[in-house]
Amino acid sequence: MMISPYGGVLCELVVDLDRRRELDEQLRDLVSWDLSLRQLCDLELLLFGGFSPLRGFMTRAEYDSVCSKMQLLDGTLWPLPVTLSISADLADKLSVGDQLGLRDLEGVALAVLKVADIWQADRQAEAQACVGTNDPQHPGVEILADEAPVCVGGRVEGLRLPTHYDFSSLRLIPREVRNRFAKRGFQKVVAYQTCEPMHRAEQAMTFQASREQQANLFIQPVIGEASPENLDYYARVRCYQMLLPRYPSNTVELSLLPLATRFAGAREAMLRAIVARNFGCTHLIIDSKPDQEGRVVFDPAKDAELVLAQQAQLEVSLLPFAQWVYDEDSDTYLPEDRLPAGALTRRLSPEGLRARLQAGRKIPDWYSYPDVIAELTKANPPRRQQGFSLFFTGLSGAGKSTLANVVMVRLMELGSRPVTLLDGDIVRRNLSSELGFSKEHRDINIRRIGFVAGEISKNGGIAICAPIAPYHKVRKEVRRMVEAGGGFVLVHVATPLGECEKRDRKGIYKKARAGIIKEFTGISDPYQEPQDAEVTIDTSDQTPDEGAQQIMLYLEKAGYIG
Ligand code: PPS
User: By the 8 A CB rule, do 408 and 419 touch?
Assistant: yes
- What are the residues whose beta carbons fall under 8 Å from the beta carbon of 215, sequence distance 6 or more? 186, 188, 189, 190, 282, 283
Across 359-386, average pLDDT: 93
- Residue 320, pLDDT > 80, answer no
Across 352-363, average pLDDT: 90
- Residue 477: the pLDDT is 93
| Amino acid letter for position 157 | E
Closest CA to 333 of 223, 488, 219, 203: 203
The closest-lying atom of ligand 1 relative to the alpha carbon of residue 401 is 29
Q: How confident is the model at residue 229 (pLDDT cuts 50, 70, 90)?
A: low
Structural domain including 542 reads: 383-557
Residue 135 lies in a domain: yes
Q: Is 394 found in the same domain as 372?
A: no
Q: How confident is the model at residue 227 (pLDDT cuts 50, 70, 90)?
A: low
Tell me how far the alpha carbon of residue 452 lies from the centroid of ligand 1, in angstroms.
19
- How far apart CA 338 and CA 330 sit, in angstroms, is 13
Across 170-195, average pLDDT: 96
CATH number at residue 80: 3.10.400.10
Residue with CA closest to ligand 1 atom 18: 520
- Residue 122: the pLDDT is 96
Q: How confident is the model at residue 367 (pLDDT cuts 50, 70, 90)?
A: very high
Mutation test residue for ligand 1: of 393, 395, 396, the one with most atoms within 8 Å of CB: 396
User: By the 8 A CB rule, do 152 and 86 touch?
Assistant: yes
The closest-lying atom of ligand 1 relative to the alpha carbon of residue 393 is 3
Q: What is the DSSP letter of 362?
A: P
- Residue 360, pLDDT > 70, answer yes
The domain boundary residue, chosen from 338, 364, 379: 379
Strands 252-254, 216-221: parallel, antiparallel or unpaired by DSSP? parallel
Q: Is 139 found in the same domain as 194?
A: no
The closest-lying atom of ligand 1 relative to the alpha carbon of residue 437 is 20
The count of C-alpha atoms lying within 13 angstroms of the C-alpha of 130, restricted to the half-sphere facing its C-beta, is 32
| Amino acid letter for position 64 | D
Q: What is the DSSP letter of 71?
A: B
CATH number at residue 513: 3.40.50.300
Q: Is 346 found in the same domain as 240?
A: yes
Summarize pLDDT for 423-467 with one digit per residue, the tens. Answer: 888 899 999 999 999 999 999 999 999 999 999 999 999 999 999
Give ligand 1 pocket residues (Cβ under 6 A).
Answer: 396-397, 401, 424-425, 428, 437, 442, 445-446, 467-470, 506, 508, 517, 519-521, 525
Q: Is 415 found in the same domain as 533?
A: yes
The closest-lying atom of ligand 1 relative to the alpha carbon of residue 470 is 2
Q: How confident is the model at residue 349 (pLDDT cuts 50, 70, 90)?
A: confident
User: By the 8 A CB rule, do 6 and 275 touch?
Assistant: no
- Residue 230, pLDDT > 70, answer no
User: By the 8 A CB rule, do 175 and 183 touch?
Assistant: no
Residue 477 lies in a domain: yes
Residue 1 lies in a domain: no
- Residue 301, pLDDT > 90, answer no
- How far apart CA 157 and CA 110 sit, in angstroms, is 9
From first CA to last CA, the distance across the chain in angstroms is 62
Q: Is 360 found in the same domain as 280?
A: yes
The closest-lying atom of ligand 1 relative to the alpha carbon of residue 428 is 7
- How far apart CA 297 and CA 300 sit, in angstroms, is 10
User: By the 8 A CB rule, do 217 and 192 touch?
Assistant: yes
- How far apart CA 474 and CA 440 sit, in angstroms, is 10
Across 293-313, average pLDDT: 87
The closest-lying atom of ligand 1 relative to the alpha carbon of residue 508 is 25
- Residue 34: the pLDDT is 97
Q: Is 479 found in the same domain as 399?
A: yes
Tell me how far the alpha carbon of residue 523 lies from the centroid of ligand 1, in angstroms.
12
Tell me how far the alpha carbon of residue 428 lies from the centroid of ligand 1, in angstroms.
9
Q: Is 193 found in the same domain as 78?
A: no
Q: Is 464 found in the same domain as 328?
A: no
Residue 228 lies in a domain: yes
- Residue 350, pLDDT > 90, answer no
Residue 343 lies in a domain: yes
Residue 453 lies in a domain: yes
User: By the 8 A CB rule, do 152 and 94 touch?
Assistant: yes
Which residues is 493 bridged to in the sheet?
537
Mutation test residue for ligand 1: of 422, 468, 502, 539, the one with most atoms within 8 Å of CB: 468
Count of CB atoms within 10 A of residue 513's CB? 14
Across 195-200, average pLDDT: 91
- How far apart CA 525 and CA 523 sit, in angstroms, is 6
Which residues is 317 bridged to in the sheet?
283
If you average pLDDT over every residue of the chain, what do you get?
94
- What are the residues whose beta carbons fall under 8 Å from the beta carbon of 152, sequence distance 6 or more? 33, 57, 84, 86, 91, 94, 100, 113, 115, 117, 118, 119
User: By the 8 A CB rule, do 493 and 470 touch?
Assistant: no
Percent of the chain, pLDDT > 70? 99
Closest CA to 494 of 399, 391, 403, 389: 399
Sign of CA dihedral 368, 264, 299, 8: negative
Sign of CA dihedral 83, 89, 92, 94: negative
| Amino acid letter for position 343 | A
Q: Is 446 found in the same domain as 354?
A: no
Q: How confident is the model at residue 290 (pLDDT cuts 50, 70, 90)?
A: confident
Q: How confident is the model at residue 231 (pLDDT cuts 50, 70, 90)?
A: low
Tell me how far the alpha carbon of residue 526 lies from the centroid of ligand 1, in angstroms.
12
Q: How confident is the model at residue 546 (pLDDT cuts 50, 70, 90)?
A: very high
The domain boundary residue, chosen from 158, 182, 215: 158
Residue 562 lies in a domain: no
How does DSSP assign 377-399, residue by residue?
Answer: HHHS--GGGS-EEEEEE--TTSS
Q: Is 368 found in the same domain as 306?
A: yes
Tell me how far the alpha carbon of residue 468 lies from the centroid of ligand 1, in angstroms.
6
User: By the 8 A CB rule, do 183 and 156 touch?
Assistant: no
Closest CA to 195 of 224, 216, 171: 224
CATH number at residue 206: 3.40.50.620
Residue with CA closest to ligand 1 atom 25: 396
Residue with CA closest to ligand 1 atom 30: 396
Sign of CA dihedral 397, 399, 404, 410: positive
User: By the 8 A CB rule, do 178 and 280 touch?
Assistant: yes
The domain boundary residue, chosen from 379, 396, 421: 379
Q: How many domains does the chain have?
A: 3
User: By the 8 A CB rule, do 431 and 448 touch?
Assistant: yes
Residue 111 buriedness (CB in 10 A; 0-12 / 13-18 / 19+): buried
Which residues is 324 bridged to in the sheet?
335
Q: Is 414 found in the same domain as 534?
A: yes
Tell me the three state secondary structure of residue 102. strand
Summarize pLDDT for 456-493 with one digit per residue, the tens. Answer: 999 999 999 999 999 999 999 999 999 988 999 999 99
Residue with CA closest to ligand 1 atom 26: 396
User: By the 8 A CB rule, do 3 and 72 touch?
Assistant: no
Residue 11 lies in a domain: no
- Residue 226: the pLDDT is 67
Residue with CA closest to ligand 1 atom 13: 396
Q: Is 414 found in the same domain as 270?
A: no
- What are the residues whose beta carbons fall under 8 Å from the beta carbon of 395, sequence distance 6 or more? 468, 493, 495, 497, 500, 521, 522, 527
Summarize pLDDT for 48-70 with one digit per residue, the tens. Answer: 999 999 999 999 999 999 999 99
